[in-house]
Amino acid sequence: MFTILIIFLEFFTLSTLLIKRHNLLINLATSSLIFLGMLGFLSFILREYLGISYGSFPNYFAIFLFIVVLLTLLLMRKGETNFNFKNYFQFEKIERFEMIFLLAILILIIVGFFIPVRGWDAYSLYDSRARFFESGMKQSDLASLSKYDQTNNLYYFSYPPMTSAIHAVLYASGFSSPTFIYPMFYFSVLTMAYVLVKSLRLPKILIFLTIIPLALNKLLITQIYASYTNLPMLAFQIGCFFYAIMYFRENRSVYMLLSALSLGFSNWTRNLEPTYVAFLFFSIFLILKTKSKKVHKIIVTVLFLLLSVAPRIIWNNYISSIAINIGEIFPSIPILLSRLLDSTYLSNLIDVTFFVYEALFPVLIYVVIYFVVSLIYIFVKTKNRENETIALSTMLLIIFLFVIMVAGTLYFSVTFAWWDQIPGSFLRSNLPLIPLTMILFAFILEKLVNGKKINTFGKKEKVLGRKN
């Protein structure tokens, strides 16, 4: 238990040193996201390929990280003339609202220690696997459990083991419940959205109001104590989104590394949805838009691709290495295209449209917001080119996500008989829509607010510019 805390503190130190922004919120969000991702990824790899158990993994990892921190310190000391360790840990003053937010999250995390695991999928898959791992089994041994199962033969291989491995490490370190990691994911989603919104020139009250529909959204808060993988997936995807924007703004490679890692971890959490492609394109688009040399851009893009897709490749290879054919969920591109063409007959299209409409019904209001806001966007001019690019690419990202999900549904509709039985999981896969829409919303608000000068109470003070 103590080792886990040390690992977290090491991550915190590392992120504070590398990010170089004296903002406690960013550092906490980064360290919790990367900390959880690393736990879930490395512990599994070390267990399967090197045989290091989930119980002893934290010890090795803590020592390794300690060395990394020392090395970073040494390198920075050489690189900077006036290096002062203390300077890095002097954070900007925290506002009262942020203080309350941190306190609320802290309470959520502490309550998480005393809440048992929850959720059908957690019992049947994620937490089950964690308990098998903790008892000493490897992922490849799990096929033997289902030997006398009538239906779910390869069920334990249906998703990559991100949350299972985290749970296993935590169980092996003496935690009685791993539920507290989900408030941490929730925290990082909210913080990243908040930092992005805060970086815009908006009155405080508007920042607060744009964050509320995200923070209190039913779909998100019901996941805080449920051990599903959707919230972690969302956190990693938003991480990728956030750091890509930070890279675009500040052009520092730490952010690109973090963005690629986050996307990689999201691939290590769930691999059935093709949504990662949208985030991949988004990040690469922003990389190509930054002001740097062409060679540099190409190198960064290639590295980004490698890092972010690697976990996916590792998992697919792992599955095929233990000679399991999981079915046609990962098709080749020609098959995919032909299936998509096959699926475009009228009655199927109608069925799919119904399905999408039904499934997205609870987030319809966000879809409406998206369309209205995008329409307004086209008619309003702004001088800030940087924000313009970000908002535009976010708009494209949302459309692309949607198109991908619909295409995926079309593919499923001609491949699996049960495709229309899962509107709930289709909805949960579309969770990124909520934070992305609200962030986009804030960008448009900024455009409007700064076009018209307003004071903190939202009243019109003075209209700038030419009058008609």
Partner 1 sequence: MSIGINQLHNMKFYKQLLGNKMMLLMKASLLLIYCFNLLLIFRPSINVKFGAFVLENAFFVGLMILSYPLYLGLFYIVVKKYLLNSKNLIFIIVFAGLNIGLFIFSWILQILERLYYPNYIYSSIHIYIPYLAVFSYLEIMIIAFSTYVFVQKKLKKDTGFITSFSKFLLDPYKIVSLLLLVVICKVVVVDLPGVIVNELRQQSNAINMNIEFKFRTTDMPLLAEKGVFIRQNTPNDSTIVIPNQSGDYPDIGNQVLIRYFLFPRTLVSYSKLNDYINDTPSNYCRMYTLVSRSYVDKNKYFPDFSRIKIKRILFLESGGKIGEYQNLRQADILNFLNNDNVLIGLIENQECSQF
What is the distance between the alpha carbons of residues 134 and 173, in angstroms, rounded to a whole number?
A: 10
Decide: is 343 part of the binding site for partner 1 (CB under 8 A): no
- Sign, CA dihedral 397-400-406-410, equals negative
Please provide residue 31's backbone torsions phi and psi, each rounded to the nearest 5 degrees: -65, -35
Check binding of 218 to partner 1 (CB under 8 A).
yes
Q: Which stretch binds partner 1 (CB under 8 A): 58-66, 71-79, 123-131, 182-190?
A: 123-131
Query: Least Å distance between CB 452 and partner 1?
Result: 6
The least CB distance from residue 417 to partner 1, in Å, is 14
Q: How far is the CB of 49 from partner 1 (least distance, A)?
A: 24
Q: Give the one residue of 45, 89, 199, 213 binding partner 1; rule: CB under 8 A.
A: 213
Please report, for residues 137, 223, 397, 425, 434, the alpha-carbon distance to residue 213 in angstroms, rounded to integers and kept in the order given.
Answer: 43, 15, 20, 21, 8
Q: Given the structure tokens 């690419």, which residue do they identify? A: 393
Half-sphere exposure of 411 (CA within 13 A, CB side): 20
CA distance 238 to 223: 16
Closest CA to 393 of 377, 405, 407: 377
Q: Taking a C-beta distance cutoff of 8 angstroms, is the pair 408, 273 a contact?
A: yes
Q: Which of 135, 320, 321, 455 is the binder for partner 1 (CB under 8 A)? A: 135
Q: Does 358 interact with partner 1 (rule: CB under 8 A)?
A: yes
Q: Which of 13, 210, 262, 409 contacts partner 1 by CB under 8 A?
A: 210
By CB under 8 A, tell whether 466 contacts partner 1: yes
Residues 318, 296: Cα–Cα separation, whole Å: 33
C-beta of 148 vs 418, nearer to partner 1: 148
When binding is defined by CB under 8 A, the residue of 320, 337, 452, 461 that contacts partner 1 is 452
Q: Give the range of 20-28, 262-270, 273-281, 457-465 binding partner 1 by CB under 8 A.
A: 457-465
Q: Residue 34 and residue 263: Cα distance in Å, rounded? A: 11
Question: Among 31-39, 108-116, 238-246, 248-256, which window interacts with partner 1 (CB under 8 A)?
Answer: 108-116
Which 398-437 residues touch partner 1, going by CB under 8 A?
A: none
3-state secondary structure of 463: strand
Q: Which of 376, 386, 399, 455 binds partner 1 (CB under 8 A)?
A: 376
Part in contact with partner 1 (CB under 8 A); list of ranges 116-124, 250-258, 284-292, 322-330: 116-124
Binding-site residue total for partner 1 (CB under 8 A)?
66
Reported as half-sphere exposure (CB side, CA atoms, 13 A), residue 38 has a value of 18
C-beta separation of 284 from 331 below 8 A = no
Place of tokens 């949607």: 402
Q: Which is nearer to partner 1, 289 or 453 (CB)?
A: 453
Q: Which stretch binds partner 1 (CB under 8 A): 59-67, 149-157, 292-300, 306-314?
A: 149-157
Closest CA to 75 of 9, 10, 16, 18: 18
Check binding of 455 to partner 1 (CB under 8 A).
Answer: no
User: Which one of the spans 37-45, 215-223, 273-281, 324-332 is the region binding partner 1 (CB under 8 A)?
Assistant: 215-223
Out of 90, 150, 325, 347, the residue judged to bind partner 1 by CB under 8 A: 150
Kindly give the interhelix angle for 433-451 and 385-415, rounded to the nearest 10 degrees.
Answer: 150
145 near partner 1 (CB under 8 A): yes
* Binding flag, residue 453, partner 1 (CB under 8 A): no
User: Is residue 141 a contact residue for partner 1 (CB under 8 A)?
Assistant: no
Locate 119 and state its tokens. Answer: 């959720």
Applying CB under 8 A, among 221, 313, 329, 341 the residue interacting with partner 1 is: 221
- Pick between residue 240 and residue 369 the one whose CB is nearest to partner 1: 369
Exposure string for 294-326, b = 16+ CB within 10 A, e = fewer: eeebeebeeebeebbbebbebbeebbeeeeeee
Q: How far is CA 100 from CA 103, 104, 115, 183, 260, in A?
A: 5, 6, 23, 15, 31
- Per CB under 8 A, 174 contacts partner 1: no
Match 């969302």 to its residue by tokens: 234
Output the CA torsion sign for 399, 404, 409, 410. Answer: positive
Out of 30, 32, 177, 283, point to the residue binding partner 1 (CB under 8 A). Answer: 177
Query: Closest distance between partner 1 and the C-beta of residue 400, in Å?
Result: 23
Helices of type H across 135-173: 142-145, 162-172
Residue ranges that bind partner 1, judged by CB under 8 A: 114-120, 123-125, 127-128, 131-132, 135, 145-152, 155-156, 176-177, 209-210, 212-213, 216-218, 221-222, 225, 354, 357-358, 361, 364-366, 368-369, 372-373, 376, 378-381, 441, 444-445, 448-449, 451-452, 458, 463, 465-468
